[in-house]
Chain A
Amino acid sequence: MSVKQHTAATGNGHGHGNQDHGHHELPFWRKYIFSVDHKVIGIQYAVTALVFLFFGFSLMMMMRWQLAYPGQPLPLIGNLLGETAMPGGVMAPEFYNQLGAMHGTIMVFMGVVPLAVGGFGNFVVPLQIGAPDMAFPRLNMASYWVFLPGCIAMVASFFLPGGAAQSGWTSYPPLADIAPTGQTMWLFAMVLIITSSLLGSINFIVTIVQMRAKGLSFWRLPFFVHAQLVTAFLLLLAFPPLEAASVMQIMDRVAGTSFFLPTGLVVSGEPLKVAGGGNPLLWQHLFWFLAHPEVYVLILPAMGIVAEVIANNTRKPLWGYRLLVYSVVSLGFMSFVVWAHHMFMTGMGTTMSTFFQITTMIISIPSVVILTCFIMSLYGGNIRFTTPMLFATAFLPMFAIGGLTGLPLGLTASDIYLHDTFYVIGHFHYVVAPGTLFALFAGVYYWYPKATGRQLNEKLGKVHFWLSFVAINFVFMPMFFQGMAGLSRRLYDPTVYAHGRGVQALNVLISWGAWGLGLAQLFFIVNFFLSLKKGARVAENPWNATTLEWAAPSPPGHGNFITEPVVYREPYEYSVPGKSNDYSPQFRAEG
């Protein structure tokens, strides 16, 4: 594919010292490994993320054995993991804690965000705005190649003496300060991953603002792009405090400082030989300053994907487009001022807790507006229940459950009882698992044809959906009841408590649901690889969609578009009265 020069003066001064001139192909390692092409980088991120999603889920599938059958040897795998982790095939408590901490860390930082932002963001955004690539292609490449070593370091930490990080994905001191070496590796890996994220977010913001095609004003951008823009700002401004905190925890662990260690701390009966004077809550403030916006990083791109898939499959414009944009911006802003609702139990005074309760209640409003707009978008539509649409539609009630169950957690009166119980786990998993992850699956089924030139198999897709949908509810719904019964999270053996024994039957149900959910993913994995070779071939616009990415070939070549795209209309002109077609693409002059 040839690349047309952009009409505006560009003054291309790329140092092209060692670049091939003329029509030479790039060598394999520059085309597929150290590529600067956003599509290749997007796929690198996406594939890496999918691998880690499955790996992180496998860690949980192991934990679920211990929870369902405490103290029983794990069949088959139990004897393969060594005597330290699984003595006699039975999970050691320390190993359970490692699995827990690493499950959370891997799913959030190496699974969902890299897929939602690194994968979909990188691949789709430049195409949707009609750009030839991201603003800083080499920075983009650097971003991935800082991310991957971070991931490798994270996984490698399992092999350190004492094992991987085991103080929760939240790494609270003082425990995390004195934990085995794996925790230092966690901190180091986080610094790499955070740096990668910062570089990426700069790229996204500059690209979206500066490199839109002619005619593509802000109010004509697909909602997916708005969502990614807000997400990029969240990553840019919220991550640095965690980076600072990680540096301080590294200092505590390696240089013997006491940033987070209070005076007089006693460990195993012995006073800790440190200067003291630190504050463990300082870590919590800095961690949650990031981690709360982080959960909006998890949900916003997913909302963006749902918007695209719903509009396309209802053959109707999105309901309340401007409302959606205002909501997503206010959601982003509010996400910076709610973080201490994770800290209600730390002895906070009533003034500050009132402040954070109010902001937390306020932040639920834009979420509800967004969900309402999506639901209204379905009304009166000519709905096609393709596989992406199944996932996108299921997102709606699942996200609703996740959001609603958050409300009692945001109010201190009820949070006193529910904090650190399985109720919390149920709440946030509903938002992230049948919420975000379903939306991400929708995205894969929707954009796979664009990336590969082939369709994923619909039958396998539908089986994947239905099995996953049923299983996932068996996994997370019972957790609300366990939490309300008082069952704590991060508990190696629930049956030590009477109230745990009371809900132990649910643990068995949940575990079998989880293993079923794992098996259901095989349909996706098989489909993914099989369709690469055997999937039905597609042209540029197999879904009859309206946004710019569907003007490019499937898959797009270097530079993306054959002729420079121009935008003529709003992004969701479906079923416009008087037109012969039920869709008018943004990029076609005459609808």
Chain B
Amino acid sequence: MDAAQHEDVSKHMGQYYVVFVALLCLTAVTVGVSYLHLARPAAIAVALVIATVKAGLVAAVFMHLISERKVIYAVLIITAVFFAVLLLLPNLTTFEHHSGLPGT
């Protein structure tokens, strides 16, 4: 049992190093892109996409999410939905207020 675990982990070591290097590279990219001073929407989109990729790598590989169980996925999906609600709804509500529509 231990030998199998031993072997199991050592097989994955390569993956961890690759992700480590990828994360450093993506960091360099995100900083580099910021010097291009892109238009606001593009800048936000690029920065968030890169951040999401980095976060995805950390979650999938370092946190073993890629091989995690259904119950954890269920918890995270529920959380993701409410996270989106929390991010979107207050801002949409405030935005509609600020836009000066009749009756607001």
**Do A and B touch, yes or no (CB under 8 Å, in the complex)?**
yes
| A285-B93 contact in complex given A209-B71, A350-B103, C-beta closer than 8 Å | yes
Q: A233-B78, A289-B86, A337-B85 are in contact. Are A348 and B71 (CB under 8 A)?
A: no
Question: A235: shortest Cβ distance to chain B, in Å?
Answer: 13
Q: Which residue of B lies closest to A238 (CB)?
A: B82
Residues of B close to A7: CB separation below 8 A = none
A336 at the interface (CB under 8 A from B): yes
- Distance (whole angstroms) from the CB of B42 to the closest CB of chain A: 26
Min CB gap B77→A, angstroms: 12
Q: In this complex, which of A289, A346, A351, A352 has the most chain B Cβ atoms within 10 angstroms of its Cβ? A: A352
One of B18-26, B32-40, B58-66, B94-102 at the interface? B94-102
Contacting pair B90 A282 (CB below 8 A):
yes
Chain B residues with CB under 8 Å of A241's CB are: 86
| A233 contact set on B, CB distance < 8 A | 78
Interface contact A279-B94, CB-CB below 8 Å: yes
Q: Across the interface, do A351 and B96 meet the contact criterion of CB distance under 8 Å?
A: yes
- Cβ-neighbour of A352 out of B79, B82, B85, B93 (below 8 A): B93
Is the pair A348, B97 in contact by a Cβ cutoff of 8 Å?
yes
Which residues of chain A come closer than 8 Å to B67, judged between CB atoms?
none
Complex Cα–Cα for A350 and B100 (A): 11
**What is the 8 Å Cβ interface bit string for chain A, positions 347-364, against chain B (1 contact, 0 not)?**
111111000000000000
The distance in angstroms between the C-alpha atoms of A233 and B78, with both chains bound, is 10
Q: Within 8 Å CB of B99, what residues of A?
A: 349
Which size class do B's interface residues fall under?
A: 10 to 19
By the criterion CB–CB under 8 Å, are B104 and A347 in contact? Answer: yes
A336 with B94: CB separation less than 8 A? no
Cβ contacts A249-288/B at 8 Å (1 or 0 each) = 0000000000000000000000000000001011001100
The listed residue (A209, A336, A337, A340) touching B93 by CB distance below 8 A is A340
Q: Tell me, yes or no, whether B4 is within 8 Å of chain A by CB.
A: no
Q: Is A237 an interface residue (CB 8 A)?
A: yes
**Bound form: Cα–Cα A347–B89 in Å:** 15
Beyond A233-B78, A347-B104, is A352–B96 a contact (Cβ under 8 Å)?
Answer: yes
Task: Answer yes or no: B92 CB below 8 A from chain A CBs.
Answer: yes
B2 to chain A, nearest CB (A): 14
Chain B's closest residue to A282 (CB) is B90
Cα distance A286–B91 when bound, in Å? 11
Q: Are A281 and B71 in contact (CB under 8 A)?
A: no
Task: Knowing A237-B79, A237-B82, A337-B85, say if A349 contacts B90 (CB, 8 Å).
Answer: no
Report the tally of A-B residue pairs with Cβ distances under 8 A: 47
What residue of chain B has the Cβ atom nearest to residue A332's Cβ? B78
What residues on A are CB-neighbors of B86 within 8 Å? 241, 289
Smallest CB separation, A543 vs chain B (Å): 34
Partner of B96, one of A209, A282, A337, A348: A348
Contact with B along A334-349 (1 / 0, CB 8 A): 0011001001001111
Contact pick for B89, options A237, A282, A340, CB 8 Å: A340
Chain B residues near A237 (CB-CB < 8 A): 78-79, 82
Bound-state CA distance A282–B97 (Å) is 13
- Closest chain B residue to A205, Cβ basis: B75
Separation of A281 and B98 alpha carbons in the complex (Å): 12
> What band does the interface of chain A fall in when counting residues whose beta carbon is under 8 Å from B?
20 to 34
A129 to B104, CA, bound (A): 52
Are A349 and B85 in contact, CB atoms less than 8 angstroms apart?
no
Chain B residue nearest to A293 in the complex (CB): B82
In the docked arrangement, what's the CA distance between A241 and B90, Å? 12
Given A237-B78, A285-B90, A336 contacting B96 (CB threshold 8 A): no
Contact between chains at B104 and A348 (CB < 8 Å): yes
With A237-B78, A237-B82, A337-B85 as known contacts, state yes or no: A350 contacts B93, CB within 8 Å: no
Inter-chain CA distance A340–B85, complex, in Å, is 12
- Cα distance, A236 to B70, chains bound together (Å): 19
Closest to A343 in B: B93
Known contacts being A233-B78, A237-B79, is A347 close to B97, with CB within 8 Å? yes
Interface string of A285-316 (1 = CB under 8 A from B): 11001000000000000000000000000000
A414 to B54 CA separation, bound complex (whole angstroms): 49
Report how far A63 CA is from B99 CA in the complex, Å.
42
Which chain B residues border A285 with CB–CB below 8 Å? 89-90, 93-94
Q: Specify which chain B residues have a CB less than 8 angstroms from the CB of A352 in the assembled complex.
A: 89, 92-93, 96
Nearest CB in chain B: distance from A12 CB, A? 18
Residue of A nearest to B93 (CB): A352
Between B79, B90, B96, B97, the greatest number of chain A beta carbons within 10 A of the residue's beta carbon is seen for B90
Which B residues are CB-close (under 8 A) to A349? 93, 96-97, 99, 101, 103-104
CA distance A351 to B104 in the complex (A): 11
**Cα separation A173 to B44 with both chains bound (whole Å):** 31
Complex: chain B residue closest to A237, CB-CB = B82
Q: With A237-B78, A237-B79 in contact, is A348–B85 under 8 Å at CB? A: no
B103 to chain A: which residues have CB within 8 Å?
Answer: 349-350
Known: A241-B86, A286-B90, A352-B93. 20 other contacts (CB 8 A): A237-B79, A237-B82, A279-B94, A281-B97, A282-B94, A285-B94, A336-B82, A336-B85, A337-B85, A343-B93, A346-B97, A347-B97, A347-B104, A348-B93, A349-B93, A349-B96, A349-B99, A349-B103, A349-B104, A351-B96
A-B CB contact pairs (8 Å), 25 listed: A233-B78, A237-B79, A279-B94, A281-B94, A285-B90, A285-B93, A289-B86, A289-B90, A336-B82, A337-B89, A340-B93, A343-B93, A346-B97, A347-B97, A347-B104, A348-B97, A348-B104, A349-B97, A349-B99, A349-B101, A350-B101, A350-B103, A350-B104, A352-B89, A352-B93
Closest 5 A-B residue pairs measured CB to CB? A349-B96, A285-B90, A352-B93, A349-B104, A349-B101
B residues in contact (CB < 8 Å) with A: 71, 78-79, 82, 85-86, 89-90, 92-94, 96-97, 99, 101, 103-104
